[in-house]
Amino acid sequence: MTSLVTDRTSGKKVIIASGIGNFVEWFDFTLYGYSAVVIAQVFFPPDDGAAALLATFAVYGVAFLTRPAGAIFFGRIGDRLGRRGALALSILLMGGATAAIGLIPGYATIGVAAPILLLLCRLLQGFSAGGEYSGAVTFTVEHAPGQGRGMWMALLGISTTLGTVGATATVLGFRLALGEEGFTAGGWRWPFLIGGLISLVGLYLRTKLAETPAFAEVEPEQRPLTELVRGYWRVMLVVLVYFAFVGVFTHIVLGYMPTYLMKAVGLDQTTALYLTTGLMLVGVPLAPLLGLVVDRVGRRLLIRVGVLGGVLATVPAFLLMGTGNMVAAATGLLVLLVVIFGTNAAGTLAVLEMYPTKVRFSGMALPYNVAYALFAGTAPLVSEGLIGATGSLLAPAFYATAIAVVACPILFRGIPETRGGDLRTGVTAAR
């Protein structure tokens, strides 16, 4: 497979332009999760704090319901007209919705209209996210040299970590600068406005890039969804299971962990954010090392180790966090992050390489976003609900472990070794 990326500068442009949208997506979604307590106070009736927090997590999850619609919409654009146009539109919509959240008046000012407008903004965020991550990884892998796809994807993956860390650092910065009272009174809005501004930078960068060589070499598929259902439905099921597993673990950590650490360990919110942010930074130096392993050893090893880690290590990790000891809590959280980092390093690349170019965008976007709508987006809500129903702080761990147990045999058999495969035709276990 030839590549139009012939120098280091061009490669950097591709990764940065793809990554900045991924950064904005995770920045936006993490902002919401890490500001959940304040959002509950601002946008919902103050009578019942527990109900307001549940409603806040429900809105967090409902946003994922529009992701499949976004996947179909942006996938159709990406596979018929090109990857670049889909990416430009997705980041524009996402940035606008994020900035709007920072401008909505609270419940005390406009009453029930406040949570309704918040919900509409979150739905638009979810719709745009339906094309953002899928488009970014497709765009990157189709530009990458054949023997360096793992490293390119690893470097792109750093944008996820930086988006999460950036959101956390921004929230912490405003908390420290304004104090808890100032942050709750209106300082929480500024991070959302900043997210909107960053998206404009991403839009500018993406308009300066060429279309991917892989897309330029094939005849565009005019009916990608029909072709997927007819020829690649087994592959889509495997991809769905993969992202259900990854999504539950990721959003328990990103969307729910600060709240969990406050309950289980007794940390205040600022300390919980500090701990989560510091450990997320482990993913930055770890990413290129994992990318090197993926390029030299292959994809299946890390996928299998990651899924087994989810089965065997989740409950022990939560037990460590539940001790109330800071060091033990940090160790437990780090275990969960290693499971996520290791699986993601190889899994996303493998599922991209399983599809041919003509349906890659749609084939990635649809099962990814359906899985995130059903499992990832609801993970914080399910975790909070399970703890409330059972009284056990281990309930989220048992839920995540059950997902891993179901995923394990399917992913072991369904994801072939794709290293060295031709992107134009894809590498599938069965069709």
Give residue-wise pLDDT tens across range 228-265.
888 899 999 999 999 999 999 988 887 788 778 887 77
Please give the residue that has the higher pLDDT: either 311 or 47. Answer: 311
pLDDT of 48 reads 64
pLDDT at 8 over 70: no
pLDDT at 175 over 70: yes
- Most confident residue range from 2-6, 35-39, 123-127, 425-429: 123-127
Average pLDDT over residues 87-105: 92
pLDDT at 430 over 70: no
Give residue-wise pLDDT tens across range 23-77.
988 888 778 877 877 888 888 887 766 777 778 777 877 777 888 999 999 999 9
Structure tokens at 137: 């990884």
pLDDT at 127 over 80: yes
pLDDT of 350 reads 95
In the chain, what are the domains?
A: 8-414 (1.20.1250.20)
| Band of residue 4 on the pLDDT scale cut at 50, 70, 90 | very low
Please give the residue that has the higher pLDDT: either 315 or 7. Answer: 315
Classify burial at 190, counting beta carbons within 10 Å of its beta carbon; exposed 0-12, middle 13-18, buried 19 or more: middle
Average pLDDT over residues 377-399: 89
pLDDT at 162 over 60: yes
pLDDT at 110 over 50: yes
Average pLDDT over residues 12-33: 84
pLDDT at 108 over 70: yes
Give residue-wise pLDDT tens across range 326-369.
888 899 999 999 899 889 889 999 999 999 999 999 999 999 99
Structure tokens at 211: 């279309």
| Band of residue 169 on the pLDDT scale cut at 50, 70, 90 | confident
| Band of residue 274 on the pLDDT scale cut at 50, 70, 90 | confident
Looking at every residue in the chain, the average pLDDT score rounds to 87
pLDDT of 3 reads 43
Give residue-wise pLDDT tens across range 294-303.
999 999 999 9
